[in-house]
Structure 1
Amino acid sequence: MWCGGIRLGCCRRPVTTAVATREREREREETMGGGQSKKAEEQSLRLLQCSIDGDLREVKHIIETYLEHQMKGNESGNDNDNDGHISDNGSGGDRVSHVKAFVNTSDPQGNTALHGAVFSGHMDVVRYLIEECHSDIDQQNGLGCSPTWLAAGYDRCEVLQYLLKRHPDPKSALLSTVAANKTGDTPLVAAASKGNVAACQLLKQMASELDVPWGQMVLRRNKGNDNALNVAIAGGHNQDELLDPFLAELSGADLDEPNTKGLSPFLIASERDDVKLAKKLLSKGASWNVQDSNGSSPLSIAAFCGNPHIIKEVLLQKEELRDRQNRNGCTALWLAVRAGRPEVVDALLEGGCDPSISNKDGLSPLDAAKKYKRDAIARLLEDHIASNPTE
């Protein structure tokens, strides 16, 4: 199972064989030689799994065991006390460097123990790894996700607040690509994409405390040209408490700017048949006249997707949308026919859409119905045309 770059179960071992396994590893290293690197790698994977599991006692044990091995024969070998505290005084500096290197070692997917603890929300493990073991608070995994990003994306609010307060440059963590993954998603975009209301509210609160402009965070777009509002809507998260703080910072132009797929929030609402969201966006200044990369209007998109509610309650109110053609010359009615949406075809005809408009290939909606064997829709069109001979 993969979640945010964390591979669950990557290094789990049966508890009943843990001691025997450690003994075999020690014996193999002593008899074969050259096994130190492999053993350290295995210990690092065990550390990651125990961090995911939230087993602080075992986390401390793994680190202490590793440290004892590294410091064997050194006079400083007994500086490690029973509560897992790592000394950084005097010769303990070597100990700190060993521990720091160990806990920041990643698995093949780039995850460290801190990534694992943050992912699962184990605050005690997170605190120990950072405060006692000097885990790198900004280290990114193979997907480019920092611990801060994971905390926001998985709604680990206590951990998120702690990480931002411990961060040497929290403003950077909130705003810049330091805390963005490889797609350019900031922690706010990560939280919004999952519908994590609490995490978004916390990020807004932290922005206020750190004197970071909230509007700047909301406007920040990723490499797909999506901002927090876009990804929230695309994820089907339309709660007022999530969207309203974003909408308060966005003007009509911001709302209408398409992403790299040519979609704006209003087009997504049309695609999802979300009447409430569409009305909210229009009230905030979104334009009726947006179109996707193929030149399809909100009405055309809703028609093709088979969304009668938004068509009847919102989109047919705008007369100029009714017969607008996309780059292929297809109207909303034509696309509804092609997709086999009889309920939508009926709604569009009742709403005044013209059944005589052909696409660039010269096919009318009725021609399309016959070509694509939409027999019920063909009869519907024929009946409508017969009843309205002037069209």
Structure 2
Amino acid sequence: MGNKLLLGDGCSLNRLFFADVCNVDHQNKAGYTPIMLAALAAVEAEKDMRVVEELFGCGDVNAKASQAGQTALMLAVSHGRIDMVKGLLACGADVNIQDDEGSTALMCASEHGHVEIVKLLLAQPGCNGHLEDNDGSTALSIALEAGHKDIAVLLYAHVNFAKAQSPGTPRLGRKTSPGPTHRGSFE
């Protein structure tokens, strides 16, 4: 069965949490919390995803694993679990947290070639494509090194052109033609 998350009908996490039966922020011997482990699961039914999102909402989605310092978001991204990425982002996962090696979720997605996840992460307010890991690599350089040119183009555009333009800043590619009030001095 592997990474499939199986939940019974009527399973209510709230009952377990409020009864102090479960601590979703407790790390196991390997350093992972239930939220991190759930981020790796594949869910097949919408009701199961609702339970997972309930779990994400009950704990610290930005907690770092004691080994390597990865977050639930980084784990979901690395394994291509876009549904989990969406759920974690909806529950406040920070896209710019860096693990012990300085990697971010965006760097993980870039390395593994997850184009749709890269697009999703770049769409998050404040997503910083300029961050460097401990080796001085950025998401863009990681994507290029991994041969993911499509992702590299997205990252290049985000880093260089996604900045908000001030009202007086002309847009690239639009030339204004002189109107009747802009006639040259030789006319």
Q: TM-score w.r.t. structure 1 length?
A: 0.36
Contact 2:39 2:84 in 1 (8 A): yes
Say which of 83, 97, 120 aligns to 1:324: 97
Match of 1:385 in 2: 159
- The answer to whether the aligner puts 1:276 opposite 2:45 as a matched pair is no
Deviation at 1:263, TM superposition (A): 1.8
Instruction: Give the equivalent residue in structure 1 for 2:131.
Output: 357
Amino acid at match of 1:323: N
- Structure 1 pair 388–235 and aligned structure 2 pair: CA distance change class (3 A): closer
How far apart, CA to CA, are the structure 2 residues paired with 1:286 and 1:299? Answer: 13
| Cα distance in 1, alignment partners of residues 40 and 118 from structure 2 | 16
Cα separation, 1, equivalents of 2:87 and 2:12 = 22
Residue number among 58, 61, 64 corresponding to 1:288 in the alignment? 61
* SS of residue matched to 1:379: helix
Q: Indicate the residue corresponding to 1:210 in structure 2.
A: none
For 1:359, give the aligned amino acid: D
Alpha-carbon distance, 1:276 to partner: 2.0
Higher helix share: 1
User: What is residue 345 of structure 1 aligned with on the other side?
Assistant: 118
1:262 counterpart residue number: 31
Q: How does 1:76-225 map to 2 (within 5 A)?
A: none
Question: For the Cα contact (< 8 Å) 2:4–2:42, is it kept in 1?
Answer: no
1:371 maps to amino acid? E
Find the counterpart in structure 2 of residue 14 from structure 1: none
Q: Does residue 299 of structure 1 match 2:68?
A: no
Unaligned runs of 5+ in 2: 44-48, 165-187
Identity of aligned residues (%): 22
- Taking the aligned partners of 2:10 and 2:69, their CA distance within structure 1 comes to 32
- Residue 241 (structure 1) shift: 4.1
Offset at 1:336? 0.7
Q: Which amino acid aligns with 2:145?
A: K
CA contact (8 A) 2:106 2:121 kept: yes
Structure-1 residue corresponding to 2:181: none
Secondary structure of the residue aligned to 1:255 is: coil
Whole-Å separation in 2 of the counterparts to 1:264 and 1:356: 29
Q: Is the 8 A contact 1:299 1:316 kept in 2?
A: no
Q: Based on CA coordinates, which of the two structures has the bigger radius of gyration?
A: 1
Q: 2-side partners of 1:317 and 1:337: how far apart? A: 22
Change in CA separation of 1:350 and 1:248 when aligned onto 2, cut-off 3 Å: same
1:242: how far off?
A: 5.4
With over 3 angstroms needed to count, the CA separation of the structure-2 counterparts of 1:318 and 1:338, relative to structure 1, is same
Secondary structure of 2:152's partner? helix
Residues 280-319 of structure 1, C-alpha deviation per residue, up to 9 Å, x if partnerless?
Answer: 2145x32223222211111111111112223234425526
Retained in 2: the 8 A contact 1:334–1:364?
yes
Deviations 1:142-176 (A, max 9, x none): xxxxxxxxxxxxxxxxxxxxxxxxxxxxxxxxxxx
- Confirm or deny that 1:334 pairs with 2:111: no
| Structure 2 contact 113–148 (Cα < 8 Å) conserved | yes
Unaligned runs of 5+ residues in structure 1 are 1-193, 195-232
User: Please, what TM-score do these two structures have when normalized by structure 2?
Assistant: 0.71
Shift of 1:378: 0.8
For 1:261, give the aligned amino acid.
A
* Alpha-carbon separation, structure 2, partners of 1:235 and 1:262: 21
Q: Deviations over 1:118-149 (max 9, x none)?
A: xxxxxxxxxxxxxxxxxxxxxxxxxxxxxxxx
Q: 1: CA distance between counterparts of 2:34 and 2:135?
A: 31
CA contact (8 A) 1:336 1:345 kept: yes
Report the residue type matching 2:119 in the other structure: D
Deviation at 1:240, TM superposition (A): 4.2
Is the 1:333–1:365 Cα contact (8 Å) retained in structure 2?
A: yes
Q: Distance in 2 between matches of 1:306 and 1:350?
A: 17
Q: Give the distance between the partners of 2:72 and 2:20, measured in 1 at CA.
A: 20
**Any idea what SS the aligned residue of 1:268 has?**
helix
Is 2:143 the counterpart of 1:369?
A: yes
- 237 and 317 in structure 1: CA distance in 2 versus 1, 3 angstrom threshold: closer
